[in-house]
Amino acid sequence: MTALDPNPATRTGPAPEPARRSGSRWGRPYAWLVWGAVAFFLVNLAGLILSVVVDSFATTWFGTWLPDGYTASWYADAWKEFGLAQVLQVTLLVALAVVGISLLFGVPAAYTLARRDFAGKRVVMLLLLLPVLLPPITYGIPLATVLYKFQLAGTLFGVIAANLVPALPFVVLVMTPFIEQIDTNIESAARMCGARTRQVFTRILVPLLIPGILAAGILVLVRTVAMFELTFLVAGPDSQTLIVALYSAAFTPGIRAAQAIDAMAVIYTALSATLLALALLFVNPTQIVSQVRDTSTD
């Protein structure tokens, strides 16, 4: 019986086969299934959007692959019939008001949560994130009840107040990672030079946080334009945003051309897609996901 040679170079015999990775037989088919499901979803989504866009330009379209003709008059009809000028004005006013108020209070709150440690900080953070994590309808009905009780529902102020409930915590969620990335030594150096807290915040931090502020503002703008539940529960005839007006045009009783409603839907989709594309230029979605995950695990 011979001893085993410790030197691998002097060993004889066939080399040992490399260990096979577990799940190699099922890894590739599983990946194909996932990508196939994603592709199926995207194709259906693209087909749905394309059918709405084509129908908004169709003169008539019944039982054929393509419309009988094309026209852009449905957009003019939708603009007049549904009063889109006033609807877009209300939408812009509500969205800008929500963005401004959310940034005014959300950025200082995010700075406090990013820089200060105090008792109950995790509880406060979770309470702030509840309106973002929960579906709006879960707290929308009690919120609408309170606004109706104080006669604020049906007004622009009521719509703005309702949209602030998820928007303000969302600003805190987006801004906290941006503030945490700024070195605290910059603030310490400014204080050593005689700057007060307000001067440090306005002259040092705000210029550095411009990308984050723009990202938070645009994302809140997108959320406010797309917020249906809260706006629908508290909006009145003169305080409807575009999404609520689109729902009313599609489902309230009356005879309306389907092409005009589709034209209105195309306008809404184009507006939301443009705002979302602008937001993605300034924010990384993985930062938001990681922030929610870290807060939930804490």
**Residue-range domain boundaries for the chain:** 29-59, 73-297
For residue 17, what pLDDT band results from cuts at 50, 70 and 90?
Answer: low
CATH superfamily for 73-297 is MetI-like (1.10.3720.10)
Identify the pLDDT of residue 249. Answer: 87
**CA quadruple 38, 41, 47, 48: dihedral sign:** negative
Q: Residue 254, by phi and psi: left (phi above 0), alpha (psi -120 to 50) or beta?
A: left
Q: pLDDT of 233-242, one tens digit each?
A: 999 888 899 9
Identify the pLDDT of residue 70. Answer: 87
Three-state DSSP class for residue 58: strand
Between the alpha carbon of residue 211 and those of residues 74, 147, 179, 187, 280, the distances in Å are: 39, 35, 11, 19, 11
What one-character-per-residue DSSP string does 213-265 give? HHHHHHHHHHHHHH--HHHHHH--TTS--HHHHHHHHHHSSS---HHHHHHHH
Report the range out of 196-200, 214-218, 284-288 with the highest average pLDDT.
Answer: 214-218
- Does pLDDT of 295 surpass 50? no
- Does pLDDT of 21 surpass 60? no
Identify the pLDDT of residue 179. Answer: 86
Q: pLDDT of 131-143, one tens digit each?
A: 888 889 999 999 9
Tell me the percentage of the chain whose pLDDT exceeds 70. 85
Q: What is the mean pLDDT of the chain?
A: 82
Contact 139, 202 (CB under 8 A): no
What one-character-per-residue DSSP string does 181-198 give? TS-HHHHHHHHHTT--HH
Identify the pLDDT of residue 293. Answer: 52
Task: Give the predicted TM-score (pTM) of the model.
Answer: 0.76
Q: Which two tokens stand for residue 237?
A: 């005839």
Tell me the percentage of the chain whose pLDDT exceeds 90. 25
* Distance spanning both ends of the chain, measured CA to CA: 60
Identify the pLDDT of residue 2. Answer: 47
Contact 125, 295 (CB under 8 A): yes
The mean pLDDT of 31-59, rounded to a whole number, is: 89
The mean pLDDT of 158-168, rounded to a whole number, is: 94
